[in-house]
């Protein structure tokens, strides 16, 4: 299983607008991805309810993971987005 540990770059964390942006990006990468707080229970990264239930704040570490064969590139893109607090998924 591939995973990336990143610190949330959005000051407001994964709430409201950043959560919406991230959920759309997670669905767009084409592989199943989970997200969890460090040491927490993973949730589907493409689920708005799951993401909001994490309660992940700005500056906290999260773990993105996937066991799909093409996971590395997808996780790299999502990790960059989270870490830099981007409003859209970075190019491949």
Q: Which CATH class is domain 2-84?
A: alpha beta
pLDDT in 10s for each residue of the chain, 92 residues: 999 999 999 999 999 899 999 999 999 999 999 999 988 999 999 999 999 999 999 999 999 999 999 899 999 999 999 999 999 888 87
Sequence-separated (6 or more) residues with CB below 8 Å from residue 34: 42, 43, 44, 45, 64, 65, 66
29: phi then psi, degrees, rounded to nearest 5: -70, -15
Provide the annotated active-site residues. 15
């Amino acid at each position: 299983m591939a995973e990336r540990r990143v610190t949330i770059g959005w000051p407001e964390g994964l709430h409201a607008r950043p959560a919406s942006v991230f959920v759309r990006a997670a669905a767009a990468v084409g592989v199943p991805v989970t997200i969890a707080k460090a040491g927490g229970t993973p949730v589907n990264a493409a689920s708005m309810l799951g993401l909001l239930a994490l309660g992940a704040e700005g500056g906290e570490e999260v773990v993105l993971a996937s066991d799909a064969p093409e996971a590395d590139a997808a996780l790299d893109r999502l990790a960059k987005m989270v870490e830099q607090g981007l409003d859209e998924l970075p190019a491949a």
